[in-house]
Structure formats: structure tokens, C-alpha cells
Amino acid sequence: MTHRQLNFIGTNVPISGISKDILEMPVPSSVCKNAVNQAIPAYLLKFGSPSSWSQVEADVVLMRNFSLKSPNLYLDELMLQRYNPNVVLEKIRGALGVNGCFALKIVTAENIKCEIQKDISPFFLRLYYPVHFLFRRVLPKLAGFHTFYRKLQIPVDMSKAEIMGRLIYNGFQIVDVVDDCKETLIIAKINRKSNPSLTNPEASEGVVFKMNRIGKGGKMMTVYKFRSMHPYAEYVQEYLHSTQGLDAGGKFKNDFRVSTGGRLIRKYWIDELPMLYNLLRGDLKLIGVRPISEHYFGLYPEKLQALRKKHTPGLLPPYYADLPETFEEIVQSELTYLEAYEKAPFKTDVNYLWKILKNIVINKARSK
């Protein structure tokens, strides 16, 4: 799986690392019998011959008798003001062959912001973009406004992380992502091993959202937070880890799932305030290892996995006492805490609470 920054639309665009002759091959008109806008991007010839691709629009996909006439499908621009993206993606998955590719071109929220930045001076951008963000990103996610926007076909901006998350949620596997300032192309295949939409409800798009985390005894628990990531971002975690890896402090590198506002509220732990509800319920204790996702839990060594399952997770983790910089140091930090906690629970938590408060208040440690 790769990620490139380039201009991909059209059939005469040379792309580094790919034969220019192949890219400049004209797409036969017979292949475009279902085309609705423009020629199929030549970049898709990397994933199948010209005759294997058909282009279609969302209205056709939603027809009762929709079926594919060729192995690979290209959808040009998912119009978010008119359709429920999950319904469209579910229909495509049902019609696509097990080895077929699905390519989606979409103008993401990031693309729109990039274009706005090109056309407006920094001064006016600071005045205009908050209003744009409110009406195109915030209000459409709120109860009541969601239906109102769709009925009136008011444009809604969707982030790259959200559309990728929706693809994975609907049983697709991301193969490639190609984007530039103007638009984004995502290529996916059917994931034969996983289709979360069959077992998981649609993700919440509200301000407060639920996360499934591993708790005491290895049981799944629900944790509440203020949203700092785009909707459906949790489904992109495995893809992000496989393509970007981990950064200092155990966070994912180049984590495009976190919104601009999300970075601010994370810095001062505002996003974690709803977790006080978990603390009052007894799901969490004040000091302890953080409840983590099933995927992230799987990255831990078996010894720490077994030790974690024996204890209730905490609101304030040993991370803020030790401030580890690598994943290996995080593992060692948690092992040290849990082993000390088993010998002297009260004394250990008091010592760690003092270290954590000292780092946060005096040394100005901040979340990322």
C-alpha cells in the first residue's frame, strides 16, 4: 500500500515511477459507455486493463437492478449532499467481484481547504474559513441538521479519513491513495476477512462519541470522549499503522485522522473530560494503564497483554509519569507500573499521581 502526492486526473499525466506510455494510452470509448463525467483516470490502468474498468454514477448504483458489467468500477465524485455514503458503498460491495477494484474520486474537506487557501489571503482566510467550517463540517453532523442538509442537498465536506473509514467499515480494504490539492483518488478491494458493517452500528458523527476499548479481563468496554478525530477514523487505525508506523510517544505518524480542532483539545486533555463518566461508573480508576483499542492491544508483547487484563484501566496513565519516547519505552513503562502496583497498590498510585501532576503542572507535559 502506497500514498503519493500527485495530479492524477486525465489520461496524459506522467506519474513518477509508472510508464508514461501506459499512462498516455487512450481509454477506448467502449469502456466509457457508462461514463458520466470524464475519462477514467489513466492511473487506474495500473490496477487493470482499460477494458476492465467501467465508470458509473451514484444514481445508477442505487438502482434496484444495479450490476457490474466489468471487473473494476470507478465512481466519479460521491455527491455527499444527496446520498448516504454507506448505502452507496454497501451496494458497490455487493456487486463487485471478489478480485475486483473499486476506485472512488472525491473532493475531500482537505482538498476544499487547500483550494480556498490558494484563492484567499491569509487575513481573509482567518475570517472566512471558521464560517465555512461551521456550515460545511460542524452543523451537518448534528442531529436534525443532518437530515435537513440532505433533503435540501446542501453541500457537506467529508474528510479523507472519514471516507477511508467508511470504505473499511463497509468491508473494503484500502489499496492505494493518491491525492493533490484539488482532489483525491482512493483505490480499494473487497476485504474477504472483515466487514464491520455486519456487526457494528454506523459510527456516531456527534461531538461526544463512543470508543470500544479493552478493559479488565480482556472484555470490551465503552469509553466516552469529545471528538478529536473525524467520524469513522477508528477503522483507519490498522491502515495507518501499516503505512506510517509509530512516532515518538507511541502515537501514529502523520495521523491525518485528527482534525485541526482536535489537535487543540487533545493538547489540553479537553477531549477526555467525558471519561470522567467512566471513572464515576467504575470502568476506570484514577491511575492506571490507558484503555486501548483491540488493534493497538495486539501490538503489545504477550506478557504485558496478560498483565493488562488483570487490572482496571486508568484515567491518568504511567505515560505522564515517565514520558517515554518510543513504543518500547511505553511497554516498559506500563510493565514497571503494573508490577509495582501488584506489590503495593496504594503506595504505587500515590507515587505515580505525584509524578504525573509534577510533569503536567510544572514541566508542562502536554498530550498530542
> Per residue in 148-189, pLDDT tens?
777 777 778 889 999 999 999 999 999 999 988 888 999 999
Would you place residue 39 in the very low, low, confident or very high pLDDT band (cuts 50, 70, 90)? low
Higher pLDDT, 149 or 121: 121
pLDDT above 60 for 3: no
Task: Return the closest-CA partner of residue 328 out of 300, 287, 356.
Answer: 300
Note the Cα 233 to chain centre separation in Å.
Answer: 3
Query: How is residue 229 annotated by DSSP?
Result: B
Pick from 58-62, 85-89, 119-123, 163-167 the range whose average pLDDT is largest.
163-167
Q: How far apart are the first and last CA of the chain?
A: 26
pLDDT, position 79 = 55
Cell numbers for 74, please give them. Answer: 470507478
Contact 227, 320 (CB under 8 A): no
303-347 pLDDT, tens digit per residue, is 999 999 999 999 999 999 999 988 899 999 999 999 999 999 999
Taking CA atoms, 288 is separated from 227, 251, 285, in Å, by 23, 18, 7
Helix, strand or coil, per DSSP, at residue 344: coil
| 37-41, 239-243, 273-277, 318-322: segment of lowest average pLDDT | 37-41
In 10 A of CB 42, how many CB atoms? 24
- Average pLDDT score over residue span 355-364: 87
Higher pLDDT, 269 or 25: 269
What does the alpha-carbon distance between residue 72 and residue 99 come to, in Å, rounded to a whole number?
Answer: 9
Cell numbers for 91, please give them. Answer: 451496494
pLDDT, position 150 = 73
Note the Cα 87 to chain centre separation in Å.
Answer: 19
pLDDT, position 1 = 41
pLDDT, position 285 = 96
Would you place residue 279 in the very low, low, confident or very high pLDDT band (cuts 50, 70, 90)? very high
The residues pairing with 225 across neighbouring beta strands, listed in sequence order, are 209
pLDDT, position 343 = 95
pLDDT, position 20 = 31
Residue with cell 482538498: 111
Could you please report the per-residue DSSP string of 169-223?
A: HTTEEEEEEEE-SS-EEEEEEE-SS--GGGTSPPPP-SSEEEEEEE-GGG-EEEE
pLDDT above 60 for 80: no
- Average pLDDT score over residue span 8-37: 32
Higher pLDDT, 175 or 253: 175
Output the CA torsion sign for 67, 69, 72, 75.
negative
CA 247-326-162 angle, to 5 degrees, is 30
Would you place residue 82 in the very low, low, confident or very high pLDDT band (cuts 50, 70, 90)? low
pLDDT above 70 for 130: yes
Higher pLDDT, 324 or 368: 324
- Average pLDDT score over residue span 48-75: 86
The mean predicted confidence, pLDDT, of the chain is 82
196-229 pLDDT, tens digit per residue, is 999 988 887 778 888 889 999 999 999 999 888 8
pLDDT, position 368 = 65
